[in-house]
Amino acid sequence: MPEPNAQSQSPGLRIELKSNETFLDLSQQAPQLFRKVLIQDSLINFFPYCEFYFRDLSAIVAEHAFFIEGLEFNLKLGTEGGGYLDHDFVWTENQFNDTVPTSFLTGTNTFLFLSKYYKKDYKKSRSWKDTLTNVAKDIALNDYGIVLAKQKISQTTGNEYWYQCNEITAQRVQGFAERAQAQNNPKAPFYCFINSAGEFYFMSLEDLMTQRPLSIRYRMAIGRDIRSDLSAVQAYDIMHGGMPINKFNYKKKVYKYDESANSLSVDTNIVDHVKKLSTREKLLIRRGLRDNYSDYINYGICYAENATSFQGWINSLYRDSSLGYRMMVTVPFNKEIASGRTIEMSVDSSDAARSSNYEMGGNWLIIQSKHYYDQAAAPFSEMLLAKSAIEISNRHRFFSEFL
């Protein structure tokens, strides 16, 4: 196909989009033709997602490429000096809109991408007799080709039979995460996903929360220069969950049957399954409220050799409650932001007697990230942050009653 007109990118952020088979290269197009870029990942959706909007005035795509389902692309978003958010995507859908009446096709070509790992995901039937740590490593390397350096996998207990019976691998490995039990914290729930940095996570909440935070410490700030301050929070929303998530997790009694049909029960509660990073961190639930509610579940038959899997299943019931305190934060573009990583927040207090607002400060886990480039605005990154418990002052009226 014809080479696009080479023009320098705008100062600062640079966008590169090249097909992994030498065919379509939009990297040197005029920056004003890149209408918008969105890259998104999360703990919930196994694969990252991308939208790339290209103003195809010369009908480069419409005439020479059109839509090629399954073609792989490398997308880089960042700066030469600071590095790039770099991920390989696969062309899954295409839209052509904002059209202009001319004698040839011209408009905005919208590339809809999923991670290239989606292309590698198929139904399989197989079994393992191993720890889930080793099962996850096997899947990451041999199914998705993700090297050890990009595998974030916690150590698990138990050596059981694990089966994949004509199931899609992404769904099956997420199912394994719901049965995993961590060595360092047997009651920590697990999460499994691939982030926009190409990292494969099969990790316990404890290991996620205790990672070293990103090098930039973010802070609430005011002033004319915050748009150029890489550490300044541009906007935020606080979205704490509560009773709708937690009510049936305050206390649970789980009934099960052994091989001889004997009925057994296990008592568990919300405090056992959250990660507290300090003695001042609390679930903002008063003890009396927790004691007044309970839920009852019948698990069914549980064989002795599946004890690890049973405990992992109980842990997974608390995953939403374990990340119930949330905050949406917008900051200047940072290629290091990706789901599964942690950041540190610093928030001043409106009360002169307090050194800082530590309720909203400290370490937060990134459970969703979005990176935006838009012609009309400076590039920015948006993070959905979460933590298990809130650090509060021991002078709080209900401090001793909180869990």
**Mean pLDDT (whole number) for 109-113:** 93
Task: Give the residue-averaged pLDDT of 217-224.
Answer: 78
Per-residue confidence band for 384, with pLDDT thresholds at 50, 70 and 90: very high
The answer, yes or no, to whether residue 170 has pLDDT greater than 90, is yes
SS (H, E, C) the chain: CCCCCCCCCCCCCEEEEEECCCCCECCCCCHHHEEEEEEEEECCCCCCEEEEEEEECCCHHHHHCCCCCCCEEEEEEEECCCEEEEEEEEEEEEEEECCCCCCCCCEEEEEEEEEHHHHCCCEEEEEEEECHHHHHHHHHHHHCCCCHHHEEECCECCCEEEEEEEEEHHHHHHHHHCCCCECCCCCCCEEEEECCCCCEEEEEHHHHHCCCCCCCEEEECCCCCHHHCCCEECEEEECCCCHHHHHHHCEEEEEEECCCCCEEEEEEEHHHHCCCCCCCEECCCEHHHHHCCCEEEEEEECCHHHHHHHHHHHHHCCHHHHCCEEEEEEEECCCCCCCCCEEEEECCCCCCCCCCCCCCCEEEEEEEEEEEEECCEEEEEEEEEEECCEECCCCCCCCCCEC
**Which of 235, 233, 227 has its CA nearest to residue 377?**
227
Q: Which residues contact 189 (CB under 8 A, 6 or more apart)?
A: 204, 205, 273, 315, 316, 318, 319, 322
Least confident of 107-121, 215-229, 304-318: 215-229
Q: What is the mean pLDDT of residues 20-49?
A: 89
As a whole number of angstroms, the distance between CA 230 and CA 220 comes to 12
Position 155 pLDDT exceeds 90? yes
pLDDT of residue 367 exceeding 90: yes
Give pLDDT, residue 301: 87
Residue 18 pLDDT: 94
pLDDT attached to residue 321:
92
pLDDT at residue 232 tops 70: yes
User: Has residue 118 got a pLDDT over 90?
Assistant: yes
The more confidently predicted of residues 85 and 63 is 85
pLDDT of residue 57: 80
Partnered with residue 73 across adjacent β-strands are: 19, 89
High-pLDDT (> 70) share of the chain, %: 96
The amino acid that residue 101 corresponds to is: P
Q: What's the confidence (pLDDT) of residue 2?
A: 37
**Can you tell me the mean pLDDT for 24-50?**
89
pLDDT category at 223 given cuts 50, 70, 90 is low
pLDDT surpassing 80 at residue 224: no
Q: Which two tokens stand for residue 379?
A: 């590039």
